[in-house]
């Protein structure tokens, strides 16, 4: 799979990961864990690694721990979670609980969820990085209305990652956040790559345009290749509850990527829908 370097270290990260909001919020029944395991197995078998979760996603962190216990090798996954609470003590308690639930001695990426109490949590994250319990720091949001605040905090706190919304349906990140991430050397994860599924509804019943057929086998790959071919983007994290959708999404990490003029053509086409 195509990988891109994390600017802070040069470590390479495969461009397709997995979001787990709602889709991994399932009971720990054998059947549900087997399904989640199959999704992660497909991700890692194709060379992908990033799993994104949060304490906000109810049972998702526990399900990730169950999937690892069911045989996914810890070193094959890049675990990204978040701190989503107010205050230092509550944040530290939450980070400890995340590590316990995911059965991870070291968390690869700890992100401040929706910029909630950033200064307080970034200090604790840095302390955990010094102790070797967290590898990378990050900030997240999911709406264009927060891009200015995110940009200010990127400059002030210098996280190693940001996570933000970006897709053919929501291109605002191109204006400020993506160029700033490039300038400051910050890795970028993309959430809502399908606008929570809305993009598929926009193309329901439509064939892929002919010009796209040389680089995409499906609408999912069309949408994801638009994202991961942006020079500032490191990895997209589509969520899915279905192994065959994971396989489809993974296809976007392979083969020809659109260049700048093709990206414009894709955007122009999407606007006509």
Ligand X SMILES: NC(=O)c1ccc[n+]([C@@H]2O[C@H](COP(=O)([O-])OP(=O)(O)OC[C@H]3O[C@@H](n4cnc5c(N)ncnc54)[C@H](OP(=O)(O)O)[C@@H]3O)[C@@H](O)[C@H]2O)c1
**Cβ at position 199, least distance to ligand X in Å:** 7
**CA-wise closest residue to 140 among 110, 102, 96, 97:** 110
**Cβ at position 29, least distance to ligand X in Å:** 18
On whether the CB atoms of residues 66 and 36 are closer than 8 A, the answer is: yes
On whether the CB atoms of residues 70 and 33 are closer than 8 A, the answer is: yes
Rounded to 5°, angle at Cα 259 from 258 and 260: 125
CB of 140 or CB of 234, closer to ligand X: 140
**Which window, 64-72, 208-216, 241-249, 259-267, contacts ligand X (CB under 6 A)?**
241-249
| Interface residue with ligand X, options 37, 121, 225, 245 (CB under 6 A) | 245
Is residue 159 a contact residue for ligand X (CB under 6 A)? no
**Length of the chain in residues, anyone?**
273
Q: Which residues, 6 or more positions from 257, have their beta carbon under 8 angstroms from its beta carbon?
A: 2, 215, 225, 228, 229
| Interface residue with ligand X, options 23, 107, 173, 180 (CB under 6 A) | 23
The three-state secondary structure class of 12 is strand
Is residue 42 a contact residue for ligand X (CB under 6 A)? no
Is residue 195 a contact residue for ligand X (CB under 6 A)? yes
Residues that bind ligand X (CB under 6 A): 19-21, 23, 52, 113-114, 140-142, 163, 191-197, 200, 220, 237-242, 245, 248-249
């Amino acid at each position: 799979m195509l990988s891109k370097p994390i600017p802070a270290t040069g470590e390479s990260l495969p461009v397709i990961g997995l979001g787990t909001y709602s889709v991994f919020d399932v009971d720990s029944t054998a059947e549900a864990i087997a399904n989640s395991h199959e999704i992660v197995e497909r991700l890692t078998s194709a060379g992908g690694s990033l799993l994104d979760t949060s304490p906000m996603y109810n049972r998702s962190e526990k399900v990730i721990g169950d999937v690892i216990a069911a045989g996914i090798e810890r070193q094959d996954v890049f675990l990204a979670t978040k701190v989503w609470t107010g205050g230092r003590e509550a944040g530290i308690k939450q980070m400890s609980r995340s590590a316990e639930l995911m059965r991870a001695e070291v968390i690869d990426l700890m992100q401040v969820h929706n910029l909630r109490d950033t200064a307080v949590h970034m200090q604790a994250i840095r302390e955990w990085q010094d102790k070797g319990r967290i590898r990378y720091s990050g900030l997240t949001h999911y709406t264009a209305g927060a891009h200015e605040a995110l940009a200010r905090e990127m400059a002030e706190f210098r996280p190693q990652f940001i996570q933000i919304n970006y897709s053919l349906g929501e291109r605002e990140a191109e204006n400020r956040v993506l160029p700033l991430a490039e300038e400051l050397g910050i890795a970028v994860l993309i959430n809502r790559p399908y606008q929570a599924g809305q993009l598929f509804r926009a193309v329901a019943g439509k064939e892929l345009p002919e010009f796209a057929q040389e680089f995409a086998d499906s609408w999912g790959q069309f949408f994801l290749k638009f994202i991961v071919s942006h020079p500032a983007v490191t990895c997209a994290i589509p969520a899915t509850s279905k192994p065959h959708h994971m396989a489809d999404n993974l296809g976007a990490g392979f083969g020809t990527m659109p260049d700048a003029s093709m990206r414009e053509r894709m955007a122009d086409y999407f606007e006509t829908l």
